[in-house]
Structure 1
Amino acid sequence: MDNVSIAFAITLAAGLATVLGSALVFFQKTPSPRTLSFGLAFAAGAMVFVSLTEIFNKSIENFGKVSSFGLVWAAIAFLVGLVGVIVLDRLIPNPHETLDVQDPRFHDQKQSYLKRIGLMSAFAITAHNFPEGLATFFATVENPTVGLPLALAIAVHNIPEGISIAAPIYFATQNKKLTVFACLISGLAEPLGALIGYFVLKSFLLPETFGWVFGIIAGIMVFLALDELLPAAKRYADGHETVYGLAGGMAVMAISLALFAV
């Protein structure tokens, strides 16, 4: 398989992790809060490390091929990605629902309200999944050994997002098909974002294009890790799980990249 096919397959798999959230809701099982905290922080550590060491450096490298100010242009691209996703988050806030499906709020509210909350969550998360899919895809096209661990980190992140969509919809409607469909549509936004990005940019895949893409991706990934994954990890922590997970994610990413470089 060529890198484009591999990148699309990996992005699709990461997006479909959202559907796993609905399965957890159907069986009314949630991960241990401490395990969940460690996993989310681990994903955040991996995303921050790979963004600032590999993806950002790819931006500098590509800009350096056409300009003597590669670092400056990479920093500008990074800030564009950071500001862009902040604006998106302000326009369409990404909900951070509880993962406890036994929470009384899921049962005390009217069914129509719960259904509306679930569909609003699906819409917001779908909007945020487009740049995530674009980031995973282009990171993998450039270097599958970087894209795969990034996709795994995003997949871990997508499972609780799936729960936040599925729980209110399922408890309001008891309709498994509708619940899975809402999660599926949200998850498919990632490979869709990858396809749109690829077909829009494939005619312009020059060094400066990759410079902008990787710089923007680095900014997006750092924001997602700090704004979504770490706060969620801290919320479910009962000790030092967040710090251990963050350090563990960075360490594993650093070791894996060093091994692949040998």
Structure 2
Amino acid sequence: MLYAGDDEDSGTTDNVPSVYLPESHSGSLATGNIGLGFGLTAIAAAACAIGSLAPFLDYLFPFLPFLQNFRITQSKGFLAGSLSLASGILLNLALGDLFPEGVSSLGHSKLFPMKWSRMIATAVFIFTTTLLITAKYFIRKRFGIKHHHQQYSCSCDTNLVDTKESVYNISGDNNEKIDHQNHVVVVDQSNKASCIIHNGHEDKALEAKRLKSLGIQIAVALAIHNFPEGLATFATTIASARIGVVFAIALALHKFPEGLIIALPIYYATGSRWKAFAISATVGVFSQMLGAVFGYVLFVTYWNEAVTGFLFSIVTGILLFTILHSMLPLAHSYDPENRYCTIWTFVGIFFFGIVNSIFDLA
């Protein structure tokens, strides 16, 4: 994004839009396309908010003849496909965009030799992922959190019902006499059914917690990710309005599914469309606009690129952990026959690759 066109051998970025000022800069506030910079950042951020409205589309589908019976919030296939699509987009974003830019930033920071930049970025990425895995392990061990839905305790009452009337009511046979042995079997089966129902409620409760946790994980990762993107959009527009416009359009194209993937898990967990929209839109808009404000303040200050390099490397680890540990496993749990997951993951990878290619041609 910011470093397209860098000459790796020369180690300079004199002709490239950047928030990092040349040494000869006077220190006065930039008087360029400040309004346009904030405007384009807001447009890209708004795309995330629009994606957050996906659960509200259920109110529209009954009026569409070919989608009358379709509901986004009741379609496991849609949830599996959307999670897989977003996973593909974020995989390409993390490994094809963020991580290479982290390496480039560390190389141009002048704090490290260029040849060490990839190793340092890799070390930061591995450390971040390992830290998350370790934290998850200890949290699960400490609080006894398990993902196996079969491991539930059942505290059903196994007392036998003594009266024939009760046995008749349970079995549904009103005219037959039931001996003591059958009596026991029927009641035990009833208790077993109660256990299954009880476990079903716990299944739903744990699934809701899992979805809510996933939404929060994605929101945190994307909030960190959106901050430098807002900074990049603003800074690029200040340097070149034409490049800034193209950059913002490309950014907006992948912001829409970002809003979707934050909103849907939160909606499934809480049942509230407005809560899902509010959380997702706030994360998408606030973090990106905060990045633009930060860019405005720092546009006249020295800001070493090592900070961006470390930040992008950390976010790469966070995104990959979220994708591989939460998003794709959850998508497969809704699509056990793999009718959607693999296809839509590749669609997401291809989509982001095409968007980036179009941006590179501008």
Structure 1 equivalent of residue 359 of structure 2:
260
Structure 2 equivalent of residue 221 of structure 1:
319
- How high is the TM-score relative to the length of structure 2? 0.52
Unaligned stretches of 5+ in structure 2? 1-34, 63-69, 141-146, 148-196, 233-246
Q: Deviations over 1:107-157 (max 9, x none)?
A: 979xxxx8xx97997688457523312202323543546633442332231
Within 5 A, what are the aligned runs for 1:35-50? Answer: 35-50=78-93
- Whether 2:108 is the aligned partner of 1:14: answer no
Aligned mate of 1:59, from 102, 105, 110: 102
Provide closer, same or farther for how the CA distance between residues 218 and 45 of structure 1 changes in structure 2, counting only shifts above 3 A: same
| Secondary structure of the corresponding residue to residue 239 of structure 1 | coil
Structure 1 equivalent of residue 343 of structure 2:
244
Within 5 A, what are the aligned runs for 1:96-245? Answer: 125-126=215-216, 129-139=219-229, 141-142=231-232, 144=248, 147-167=251-271, 180-181=274-275, 183-185=277-279, 187-194=281-288, 203=298, 205-237=303-335, 238-245=337-344
1:159 positional shift: 3.0
Identity %: 14
1:215 positional shift: 1.3
Provide closer, same or farther for how the CA distance between residues 128 and 236 of structure 1 changes in structure 2, counting only shifts above 3 A: closer
Q: Deviations over 1:1-22 (max 9, x none)?
A: 5455534543454256445447
Stretch moving more, 44-53 or 76-85:
76-85
1:23 positional shift: 6.8
Counterpart AA for 1:54? D
Counterpart AA for 1:228? S
Q: Answer 1 or 2: which has greater helix percent.
A: 1
Counterpart AA for 2:341? T
C-alpha contact (below 8 Å) 1:16/1:184 kept by paired residues: no
1:57 positional shift: 0.7
Structure 2 equivalent of residue 78 of structure 1:
125
Provide closer, same or farther for how the CA distance between residues 137 and 197 of structure 1 changes in structure 2, counting only shifts above 3 A: closer
| Secondary structure of the corresponding residue to residue 152 of structure 1 | helix
Residues paired across the two proteins, number: 239
1:58 positional shift: 0.6
Query: 2:76 and 2:211 mapped to 1: Cα distance?
Result: 21
- Whether 2:76 is the aligned partner of 1:33: answer yes
1:46 positional shift: 1.2
Query: 1:53 and 1:245 mapped to 2: Cα distance?
Result: 18
- How high is the TM-score relative to the length of structure 1? 0.69
Counterpart AA for 1:206? N
Q: Deviations over 1:184-214 (max 9, x none)?
A: 1464244444466676786473211111121
Provide closer, same or farther for how the CA distance between residues 246 and 163 of structure 1 changes in structure 2, counting only shifts above 3 A: same
**What is the RMSD of the two structures over their aligned residues, measured on CA atoms?**
4.2
Provide closer, same or farther for how the CA distance between residues 19 and 161 of structure 1 changes in structure 2, counting only shifts above 3 A: farther
C-alpha contact (below 8 Å) 1:3/1:144 kept by paired residues: no
| Secondary structure of the corresponding residue to residue 205 of structure 1 | coil
1:217 positional shift: 1.8
Structure 2 equivalent of residue 173 of structure 1:
none
Provide closer, same or farther for how the CA distance between residues 192 and 91 of structure 1 changes in structure 2, counting only shifts above 3 A: farther
C-alpha contact (below 8 Å) 2:250/2:355 kept by paired residues: no
